[in-house]
């Protein structure tokens, strides 16, 4: 199935937690002069016009990035994220993870963007070309196949963002298999997995994220989860929140991300909340 297009959800609460975390990972990698490689398994269109028909239909950005528009943050990570977003928001656009990665990486670092959806791939090509940043590779291919083919990188430094739409219940198992496959070849990989938090209305997918997290934790790697919830977990809530699982996280990312999220949720609605929990402290 290739029906999902992220423009309907661009800039929402899920993007806030995902992109704050991803920027924290990139900041850590940049602390050393040695180049690194980034992989985005489900890249999407790269950037999103918040005034086009798809983004304007649900206006999910109103409880996400737009809720933070007038915030003067004290948390360093939140300040850096909003500063980057503001350069795009001035043109009514929101930067997806491909744009964030491209802008934040250094000239010698390499970025691989994988997208299989024909319409999304076409937009991704155009949007990345418009940024005019070197060492960005755009691939029309399955993200998990791309990870198998392109890892490990040389030099052996880098990170992976896995952000599928979870349209099918089987996609949770796809993530688990994809992560296992990476670790067969690349033990040092830092991996960020985004996941939805779904109420009972989701049927077969209710509880699937929680089961996936348990299975990923059983791989024995150091990992923590960080979540934002913007609604109560009631039967008809739908996606009441989302989170990221960070495997092999860089030092102090948990503290930096927690500070940023605690500050962000104060502006994201009356019941918005966040939590960060270590699932495996040590390898």
Q: In the annotation, is 163 catalytic?
A: yes
- Closest listed residue to residue 81, CA positions, set 61, 65, 62: 65
Active-site annotation holder among 33, 163, 181, 254? 163
Q: Which residues are catalytic?
A: 163
């Amino acid at each position: 199935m290739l029906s999902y297009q992220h423009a309907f959800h661009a800039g929402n609460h899920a993007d806030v937690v995902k992109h704050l975390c991803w920027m924290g990972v990139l900041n850590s990698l940049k602390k050393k002069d040695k180049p690194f490689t980034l992989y985005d398994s489900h890249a999407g269109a790269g950037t999103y016009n918040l005034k086009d028909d798809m983004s304007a239909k649900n206006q999910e950005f109103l409880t996400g990035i737009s809720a933070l528009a007038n915030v003067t943050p004290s948390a360093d990570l939140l300040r850096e994220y909003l500063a980057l977003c503001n350069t795009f928001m001035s043109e009514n656009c929101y930067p997806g993870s491909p744009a964030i990665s491209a802008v934040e990486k250094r000239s010698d670092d390499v970025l691989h963007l994988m997208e299989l959806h024909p319409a999304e791939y076409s937009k991704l090509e155009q949007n990345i070309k418009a940024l005019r940043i070197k060492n960005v590779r755009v691939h029309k291919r399955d993200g998990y196949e791309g990870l198998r083919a392109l890892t490990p990188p040389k030099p052996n430094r880098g990170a992976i963002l896995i952000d599928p739409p979870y349209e099918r219940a089987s996609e949770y198992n796809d993530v688990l298999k994809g992560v296992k496959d990476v670790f067969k070849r690349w033990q040092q990989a830092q991996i960020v997995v985004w996941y939805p938090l779904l109420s009972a209305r989701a049927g077969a997918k209710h509880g699937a994220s929680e089961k996936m997290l348990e299975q990923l934790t059983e791989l024995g790697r150091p990992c923590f989860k960080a979540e934002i919830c913007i609604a109560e977990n009631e039967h008809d809530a739908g996606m009441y929140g989302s989170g990221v699982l960070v495997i092999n996280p860089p030092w102090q990312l948990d503290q930096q991300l927690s500070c940023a999220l605690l500050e962000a949720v104060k502006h994201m609605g009356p019941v918005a909340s966040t939590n960060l929990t270590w699932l495996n402290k040590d390898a």
